[in-house]
Amino acid sequence: MSAISTTPYRESLSRYLTNPSTDISLQVINELSRLMNDAVTAFQADKNNPHIDKDMESWAEQEIPAMEDLIVTAAHAMAAKDPQFALTFAVWSGPPGTGKGTNIDSITIASKLLLDAYSESEKQVPETILPVLKSHTDKRASIITGTGGIMRDQRGEYKDIFGKVPALVAELVRRGDLVGDMFMTYCVLIMILVRVTQGARKIQFDLWPRTLAQLTMYDRLIVKLRVRGVDIYTEMINLRLLTQQEITAMKENILQYAARSEQIGKLKLQKMLEPWFKDEINKIRVMSFEAEHVKMYEMSKEVVDKLVSQVKEEMQTDDDPAARVIMAEYDRAIERSVYRFGKAVEKKELPRDDELPHSQLNRLRIFEMDTSPSVLRASLDHNINFISSFQSPAKVVEDILNASIDKIEKGAFRYEFADIWNTFLTVTGEIADAVVQRQAVDEEKYKTVLKEALSQA
């Protein structure tokens, strides 16, 4: 691995953070951009290096503590300026197919429309709902993490920072691999630093932390912030492709489900390392996704179906309630992936390359082997809301919003302003249905509906 000196960048960043100016965020972005560009350039210098991803992982592991310290410095500087300063980290997790991005997008659109409706109606937004609405509409509040945040962030605000990283990440995903824990966490920490320098009070995470290693680093950052006297609160939502009855059974047997999930994930990994599977996947990897994605999908699905059939046979899931539920969640996630891929093809759009079954298999295997057990065990010490995503999109966003509003004065708004809240839930649900169906959202129509509800309040 090429040696990269990060000391000058750290020194510059520390100066900006300890003596913040009005354009501190821009200064930080410029320094981070230089840091990432030099790093990636160094990794790519050896064109014959087949382990660029491993080199980046090792580099990130060395740099993570320093980036954590920069975040703490920035947050401490903000707290010194404002005694009321506090941070909230809101974590969303769940297997692929639970609609995390869909739910966030739908709630964001509806929240903006409700704020606009209040403004145009010349009414003050009650404090019992304002934090919920602002947490989904304030640009500084949200971080789209995971591969989506690095490769497909709609705002493009990280583009200047990450430079060539998206291309490297896209290649990893196309191969059916995952971005490593250390490098993914390093990228997320960069996003957090940017948000804190922008004055964020609440930061929402999608897809991070999603492994035990990432959760450990998340907890370490929180400890560092608290040691420096920064007020930090946490919220965690775990979306599952399970019925409410299945979620209840899981919560009543946390350790059993965690152990069984690990076992199934490890068995899948074992099967994925067998020569027959690797040979078949290698045939797919050399194909052109843009030109042959339908054929690649069919080949990928055939080999993945064979592997999963072997896993179910060895696990004898029919005789084990926990294993049966875990495999049912896998089947449901794959069904949703098939739907999304088919919808893209139907609309003559290029599907996402991470929708290929072998990529989904790997992501779900990570979820079963690491994320789910980590979240389940963490729920013994953390307050985690488990929400069923195996229901209509409208019902999912309703459950999420009710869980959020209930944290503010025990849900006072939805009881005091029941008509407004119920209209807001209906609008958000219809928007979620439209997003899932890839249909246009008539924002003016919904804003009018919300304004009518406000006029009658």
CA distance 193 to 198: 9
Per-residue pLDDT of the chain (457 residues; tens, 9 = 90+): 445 556 666 777 777 777 655 566 677 777 888 777 777 776 665 545 555 567 777 778 888 898 899 999 989 988 888 888 888 888 888 888 888 878 888 998 999 999 999 999 999 999 999 888 887 776 555 565 554 555 444 445 666 777 777 777 666 666 656 667 888 888 888 888 888 887 788 887 877 887 778 888 999 999 999 999 999 988 889 999 999 999 999 999 999 999 999 999 999 999 999 999 999 999 998 888 888 999 999 999 999 999 999 998 888 766 789 999 999 999 999 888 888 888 888 888 888 777 888 888 888 998 899 889 989 998 988 889 999 999 999 999 999 999 989 988 889 999 999 999 999 999 999 999 998 887 899 999 999 999 999 998 7
Q: Report yes or no on whether pTM surpasses 0.75.
A: yes
Task: Return d(Cα 177, Cα 57) in angstroms, integer.
Answer: 13
Domain ranges, ordered by start, for the chain: 7-244+382-455, 251-376
Distance of CA 158 to the CA centre of its chain: 15
- Cα 312 from Cα 423, distance rounded (Å): 44
384: tokens are 């985690």
How many angstroms separate the CA atoms of 214 and 209, rounded? Answer: 5
pLDDT recorded at residue 394: 94
Q: What is the pLDDT of residue 149?
A: 53
Q: Give CB contacts under 8 A, 24+ apart, made by 397-401.
A: 397/103, 397/106, 397/107, 397/425, 397/428, 397/429, 397/432, 398/425, 398/428, 398/429, 400/103, 400/107, 400/237, 401/107, 401/132, 401/425, 401/428
> Cβ contacts of residue 174 below 8 Å, gap of 6+?
285, 289, 353, 359
Beta bridge partners of 206: 92, 144
Which pLDDT does position 154 carry in this prediction?
Answer: 42
d(CA 260, CA 368): 9
Element (H, E) at 387: strand 384-388
Q: What is the helix (H) or strand (E) element at residue 311, kind and residue range?
A: helix 289-315
